[in-house]
Amino acid sequence: MRYSTIEPSFFITNRQQLATKLPPKTIAIFHSNPIYPTNADGVHPFKQNSDLFYFSGIDQEETILVLFPDALNPAYREILFILPSSEHTITWEGEKLSKVAATALSGIETVFWVQELDKIIKPLLLESTTIALNPNEHLRATYGVKTATDAFIEKCRQEYSLHQYMRLAPLCAELRVIKKNQEIEQLKKAIKITFEAFMAATRSLRSGCKEYELEAIIHYHFLKHGSRGPAYASIIASGKNANILHYIKNDSICTDGDLVLMDFGAEYGNYNADLTRVLPVSGKFSPRQKELYQSVLTIFKTIKKEYVPGKSLKELNTTAGLICTEECLKLGLLTPNDVSGNPNAYKKYFMHGIGHHLGLDVHDVHPIEHILEPGMVLTLEPGLYVPTEGIGIRLENNIVLTTNGNEDLMEYIPLEINDIENIMAE
């Protein structure tokens, strides 16, 4: 395996925590993500369902996890169904997990082949009164493809119409939002790989290079240092392109006098880093670029102090808006007239949130209304976007909340203007 696995005790604890939140006689069922087709006989790379991974550690397609804490047979209180190897798969793809290997990864003793699901699960469903399932309920989710979970929900509704049903998503979000030490360690590895890629890209930036050349250098260093690849589509946006928040074409030429906004992160063991830095193509920031950069840095440093337990993201966004308004006034982007009676005037130049949760998903799940607690990991990413000047600046680090405040997991990645310019001068 390319990445260092987490010990099975982590997944055992996660399942135990979920079991305490399930109503009596509830059976919880998790399906792996499908492998999505491209064209002809092509397929996209497999990405495991985050909830299934969180409770099992299994990183293989066609996996099903069944948790039934009140099952009459103790052996059936935790069951894994996995894909067996065949002569075809061994020849074309290599061996799949054995039952022994699946137990070693997950700590689950009862493992069946996935083809045995119907035979094993029917009596368990009849023994239960509630079926708990986990379709994707992320606020930004799009629903263009039918998943194995969707198909299973339909099947259950038809065959077990008198059962009660419940949503697993709120329980999963409640558990996953607090990161355990093992998760922080995986995130640190993803961040270290991201740092290596950033340093390589910074030293390679020059006038005339293509955005995708920098992207290639970044992705090379992801793979070189043990990542399976980018956590999300990398943004390498030079000049005016930096004003497109999710710019991923990465096909323009980097030109002297412009800035390059790079928003990227490595994935490691299903955990994701999320970094943004801005570099001057010439190696030096112009006076105006410095002004704007320093304003974003001021917002960053001020809000970072507010990343503490007891706050909410809503409060942090409100505070960020107030500070951003002050900076926009100093920069001449807004006038007192603009902000009079309009507290959201700053959103013309800073239109996204101050941060989001981070973990197994880049925009990680969390309870809808919640107060920040120790163990939560969030991004901190203020920005200013000025299309009329061809400048877009965003600075982003990953922050873990602690009992006494926070720890910046990216603190060692250069951020100050002088540090950026010094690296580029090497």
Task: State yes or no: is 288 an active-site residue.
Answer: no
Task: State yes or no: is 70 an active-site residue.
Answer: no
Out of 77, 219, 356, 357, pick the active-site residue.
Answer: 356
Out of 51, 78, 213, 274, pick the active-site residue.
Answer: 274
Residue 62 has phi, psi (to 5 degrees) of 50, 45
In terms of DSSP bridges, do strands 235-238 and 259-264 run parallel, antiparallel, or are they unpaired?
antiparallel
Out of 206, 228, 363, 370, pick the active-site residue.
Answer: 363
CB 148 within 8 A of CB 113: no
Task: State yes or no: is 356 an active-site residue.
Answer: yes
Task: State yes or no: is 274 an active-site residue.
Answer: yes
Helix ranges (H only) for 205-335 are 211-224, 287-304, 313-331
Task: State yes or no: is 363 an active-site residue.
Answer: yes
Task: State yes or no: is 246 an active-site residue.
Answer: yes
Closest listed residue to residue 328, CA positions, set 319, 317, 339: 339
Task: State yes or no: is 381 an active-site residue.
Answer: yes
Out of 59, 183, 258, 381, pick the active-site residue.
Answer: 381
Out of 163, 225, 228, 352, pick the active-site residue.
Answer: 352
Q: Give the span between the Cα atoms of 13 and 23, in whole angstroms.
A: 18
Out of 44, 167, 203, 246, pick the active-site residue.
Answer: 246
Task: State yes or no: is 263 an active-site residue.
Answer: yes
Out of 61, 327, 361, 396, pick the active-site residue.
Answer: 396
In terms of DSSP bridges, do strands 26-31 and 64-67 run parallel, antiparallel, or are they unpaired?
antiparallel
CB 51 within 8 A of CB 30: yes
Task: State yes or no: is 163 an active-site residue.
Answer: no
Task: State yes or no: is 338 an active-site residue.
Answer: no
Q: Give the span between the Cα atoms of 424 and 393, in whole angstroms.
A: 18
Residue 278 has phi, psi (to 5 degrees) of -125, 130
Q: Which two tokens stand for residue 269?
A: 């063991």
CB 274 within 8 A of CB 396: yes
Enzyme catalytic residues:
41, 246, 263, 274, 352, 356, 363, 381, 385, 394, 396
